[in-house]
Amino acid sequence: MAAPPARARADYDYLIKLLLIGDSGVGKSCLLLRFSDGSFTTSFITTIGIDFKIRTIELDGKRIKLQIWDTAGQERFRTITTDIRNWIRNIEQHASDNVNKILVGNKADMDESKRAVPTSKGQALADEYGIKFFETSAKTNLNVEEVFFSIARDIKQRLADTDSKAEPSTIKINQDQSGGAGQAAQKSACCG
Residue 181 lies in a domain: no
pLDDT of 29 strictly over 50: yes
Per the model's pLDDT, the better-predicted residue between 60 and 49 turns out to be 60
96-140 confidence digits (pLDDT tens): 888 999 999 999 999 989 998 999 999 999 999 999 999 999 999
Its sign, for the CA torsion 49, 30, 83, 123, is positive
Residue 2 lies in a domain: no
Q: In what order do the strands lie in the sheet with 62-71?
A: 14-20, 62-71, 50-59
Mean local confidence (pLDDT), 164-188: 53
Residue 153 in any domain: the answer is yes
pLDDT in tens, 4-13: 555 555 799 9
Residue 53: inside a domain: yes
CA 1 to each of CA 4, 7, 20, 119, 175: distance values in angstroms, whole numbers, following the listed order: 9, 17, 42, 59, 35
Report the SS3 class of residue 152.
helix
Total domains present in the chain: 1
pLDDT at 71: 81
- Provide the CATH number for the domain around residue 19: 3.40.50.300
- 191 lies in a domain? no
Tell me, yes or no, whether 117 lies in a domain.
yes
Domain that holds residue 143: 7-159
The pLDDT assigned to 182 comes to 44
Q: Is residue 170 in a domain?
A: no
Is residue 178 predicted with pLDDT exceeding 60?
no
